[in-house]
């Protein structure tokens, strides 16, 4: 019996690339998940561990980021073709490449120059509790993903021997809003109220110059309470979806806040309740049997 190596390919899966292209004050966003796979004469590494012909998956990832800087990403088909052809042309033992790209679509928030919401992931929710002739209604939304490509800073935090985070005056701020708001009063037009709360959350995220996601959270809740008297209380859970500037200096490229790695974990998780001091008693509005 002889054992042989069958078909194989290898690459970097799911490189999360976000680019910001600026046209004056107007920003254009590209959000891609890029996977590269290379094929060719790769017997040696499988059989003996000789890596002379292995284009490291780390190099493949770096190439994705560097190419995104060197010329506009453009259509995903063109970007995939550029990447795939590069690997095959540049490395003698690489004979084939497969490049998969998913593009995540963002909509501009109400004509805003640099704030966007992600198409498609959001849910509207409600939780109604009935007890002893009373009813409590808590409505909300899940996974309203928003991003602003400027208008966000984070600095002034304490530094100890474990602190490495750089201070910044201009960063991407992105989050997936989970919001719950408790209603009070009667005769509420649920659909209209939901639409308005959602609009206020979006516009406040976009308009509020942010010194921390905590400040943005409070501003979002405060704006809802200021404009919507039927809302007694707003609870927000805001994951800080970090976008890290990619260091392109090893490739002789300057990253002028244009090319980012969109990390999925770990993430900061900023949570808070904003309420009026004269709100109706919450009663059983938030009632659950288990707290896990």
Element (H, E) at 260: strand 259-262
Q: Do the Cβ atoms of 16 and 263 come closer than 8 Å?
A: yes
Task: Say whether 194 is catalytic.
Answer: no
Based on the shown chain and the rule CB under 6 A, indicate whether residue 236 belongs to the binding site for ligand URC. Answer: no
Residue 111: phi and psi, rounded to 5, are: 70, 10
Q: Establish if 84 lies at the interface with ligand URC (CB under 6 A).
A: no
How far, in Å, CA of 174 to CA of 176, rounded?
7
Closer residue to ligand URC in complex, CB, 139/152 = 152
Nearer to ligand URC, 21 or 209 (CB): 209
Q: Is residue 57 marked as binding?
A: yes
The enclosing H or E element of 221 equals: helix 213-227
Q: Which of 180, 240, 258, 262 touches ligand URC by CB under 6 A?
A: 240
Residue 213, interface with ligand URC (CB under 6 A)?
A: yes
Residue 175 in the binding site for ligand URC (CB under 6 A): no
- In the set 12, 27, 148, 241, the catalytic residue is 12
Instruction: Using the rule CB under 6 A, give the single segment among 67-75, 195-203, 211-219, 250-258 that binds ligand URC.
Output: 211-219
Task: Verify whether residue 241 is a known catalytic residue.
Answer: no
Task: Identify whether 57 is a catalytic site residue.
Answer: yes
189 labeled binding residue: no
DSSP string, 78-137: HHHHHHHHHHHHH-TTEEEEEEEEEE--EEESTT-SSEEEESS--EEEEEEEEETTEEEE
Binding positions for ligand URC, rule: CB under 6 A: 154, 165, 212-214, 240, 268
């Amino acid at each position: 019996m002889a054992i042989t190596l069958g078909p194989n390919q290898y690459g970097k899966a799911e490189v999360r690339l976000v680019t910001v292209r600026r046209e004056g004050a107007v920003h254009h966003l590209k959000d891609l998940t890029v996977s590269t796979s290379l094929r060719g004469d790769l017997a040696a590494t499988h059989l003996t561990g000789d890596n002379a012909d292995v284009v490291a998956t780390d190099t493949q990832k770096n190439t994705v980021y560097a190419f995104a800087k060197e010329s506009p990403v453009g259509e995903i088909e063109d970007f995939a073709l550029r990447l795939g052809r590069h690997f095959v042309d540049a490395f003698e033992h690489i004979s084939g490449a497969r490049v998969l790209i998913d593009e995540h679509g963002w909509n501009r928030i109400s004509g805003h120059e640099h704030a966007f919401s992600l198409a498609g992931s959001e849910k509207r929710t409600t939780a109604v509790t009935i007890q002893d002739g009373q009813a409590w209604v808590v409505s909300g939304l899940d996974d309203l993903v928003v991003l602003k490509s400027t208008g966000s800073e984070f600095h002034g935090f304490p530094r100890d021997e474990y602190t490495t985070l750089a201070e910044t005056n201009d960063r991407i701020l992105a989050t997936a809003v989970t919001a719950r708001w408790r209603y009070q009063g009667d005769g509420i037009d649920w659909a209209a109220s939901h639409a308005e709360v959602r609009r206020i959350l979006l516009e406040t995220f976009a308009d509020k110059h942010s010194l921390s996601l905590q400040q943005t959270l409070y501003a979002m809740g405060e704006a809802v309470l200021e404009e919507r008297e039927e809302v007694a209380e707003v609870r927000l859970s805001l994951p800080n979806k970090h976008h890290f500037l990619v260091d392109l200096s090893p490739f002789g490229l300057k990253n002028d806040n244009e090319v980012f790695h969109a990390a999925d974990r770990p993430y900061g998780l900023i949570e808070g309740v904003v309420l009026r001091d004269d709100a109706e008693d919450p009663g059983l509005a938030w009632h659950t049997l288990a707290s896990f």
